[in-house]
Chain A
Amino acid sequence: MPLQTPPLRGTHDERGAKFTEFGGWDMPVEFDSIRAEHAAVRDDVGIFDVSHMGQIHVSGPDATVLMQRLTSNDVSRLGVGDAQYATITDEDGSIIDDTVVYRLPDAGDEPATESREGEDHSGDPTYLFVPNAGADEAIHERWVEHRNEWDLEATVDNRTDEYAMFAVQGPNAVESVEGRTDESVADLERFTARYVTVEGVECWIARTGYTGEDGFELIVPWSAAEQLWSAFDCQPCGLGARDTLRIEAGLLLAGQDFDYETDPRTPYEAGIGFVVALETDFVGSDALARLEESETEEQLVGIQLIDRGVPRHGYDITNTDGRVVGTITSGTMSPTLERPIGLGYVPTEYAEPGTTLQVVVRGQSKKARVETTPFIETVQ
């Protein structure tokens, strides 16, 4: 299957980026060096092209009901311009995908409205949510099937191919974005968003990110992607730095820290029980209500290697007797801390920070310790 290409594939290539396949997309993994890009985001500001993220729009009189039943968090709490982290779970409460749900302006209120079939949809709630790379088609199908099954009135549009997404992240992100907007964005609170004109381009701009730093995510039509990207003169960053930054921040990566096909996990096991609003009656809520957070048998924990070595996805975790008790799901040499760190699942009895464990690196047991996550100080 040919890889999908982001709108700026050519621009990144000219800039000397190296590329990698991710979720069916041919994405820049590194522009200069992961270390330099990582440092730019921790100390200054960097920009990422994350156009591989899915973009699904849901609108209509029943849009809120549909979103409420298919995501684990409480969508009814979202006013226009609010954003919310959530999981999409199956009947057993296993995570199919994780996502951020944005409430867009109601139909008819958004700028540059595209009128649909001449009907008046004014005032209908409208949501945008962002499934992980490569998951957009299956998730779109899930939404359409359930809408039909439940006989709800809502449109569900997969607009992944229509919108680029950039993340501007770092302590100087406000400065970097502000100089290019027609209004201040400094007052945007964490997990809120609004339409702002950046370099003459209408963007949905959110105070969100995946690095542990302050910053923004900008969603723009593909046609304006080039114009917007080139307006930022900060450090371009690839998926390599995105990965090291999010591991330090203790943030999950779909397909790695949970994988619906090979390693299904509940939000409780994955340490994100805060996205579960049981009272909202969603697909999976019954199962999760029965599980209860306290009875989780295994938990995702932070792990630091004490001995020399780097923990990697798939490495065994053993107890001090050498018995395999878990698996590393993500790992790296932390560029900020200059220590080998990772995430992995272990039985709850080993999940207490400070617990001594071992990670098996190429057949050799390396001493390791359970750590609290995030590994670094992050914005809340």
Chain B
Amino acid sequence: MSFDIPEDRRYLESHEWAHEDDGVVRVGITDFAQDELGDVVFVELPDEGETVSQEGEFGVVESIKAVSDLYAPVSGEVVGVNEALFDAPELVNDDPFGDGWMLEIDADDTAELEALLTAADYEDQIA
């Protein structure tokens, strides 16, 4: 089975993706991660205004069969939360890189992204 791994973003070994646009980093989980979890039924996310730190836990995603912690790709302040997931968590399965996004972080230092995996690195990891 092959999985989407868009090249326009960076990845964590724990299967989150990070897409930066003008200092704001959008975060979600990968196609591989949603497939491993199966039907997502619940997400727990921080509120806007809270701060997160790189590789620190920021929330939880639960499928019918598993509970998985979520890790932040960069440090910064939460400026956006995808509240659509509270009523429609299946968006994480349907469109993990698009409508299934979870968080937007106003990054303290976008250079932190350089330390993360490239699409090619991540592809090797899940191969």
Contacts and interface: CB of A to CB of B under 8 A. Distances in A.
A34 B1 contact: no
B32 interface: no
A33 B38 contact: yes
B60 A244 contact: no
B38 A308 contact: no
Interface in A293-345: 308-310, 312, 332-333, 335, 340
B127 interface: no
Contacts of B44: 309, 362
B67 interface: yes
Contacts of B123: none
Contacts of B41: 310, 333
A16 interface: yes
Nearest to B42: A310
Contacts of B42: 308-310, 333, 340
A16 B67 CA distance: 22
Contact of A34 (B62, B65, B67, B86): B65
Nearest to A32: B38
Contacts of B67: 310, 312
B111 interface: no
A35 B65 CA distance: 11
B79 to A, nearest CB: 23
Interface in B36-73: 38-39, 41-42, 44, 60, 62-65, 67
A149 to B, nearest CB: 43
A123 B60 CA distance: 61
A34 B64 contact: yes
Contacts of A24: none
A332 B60 contact: no
Interface in B76-113: 86, 93
A35 B37 CA distance: 12
Contact of B38 (A34, A310, A340): A34
A304 B103 CA distance: 29
A335 B64 contact: yes
A35 B38 CA distance: 9
A308 B60 CA distance: 13
A202 to B, nearest CB: 35
Nearest to A239: B65
Interface in A92-122: none
A310 B93 CA distance: 18
Contacts of A310: 41-42, 62, 67
A34 B37 CA distance: 10
A362 B57 CA distance: 13
Given A16-B1, A308-B86, A30 B38 contact: yes
A215 to B, nearest CB: 21
Specify which of B1, B39, B63, B93 lies most central, judged by the most chain A CB atoms within 10 Å of its CB. Answer: B39
B62 A33 contact: no
A319 to B, nearest CB: 24
19 contacts: A33-B38, A34-B38, A34-B64, A35-B39, A35-B64, A240-B38, A243-B65, A308-B42, A309-B42, A309-B44, A310-B42, A310-B62, A310-B67, A312-B67, A333-B62, A333-B64, A335-B39, A335-B64, A362-B60
Interface of B: 1, 38-39, 41-42, 44, 60, 62-65, 67, 86, 93
Interface of A: 16, 18, 29-30, 33-35, 240, 243-244, 308-310, 312, 332-333, 335, 340, 362
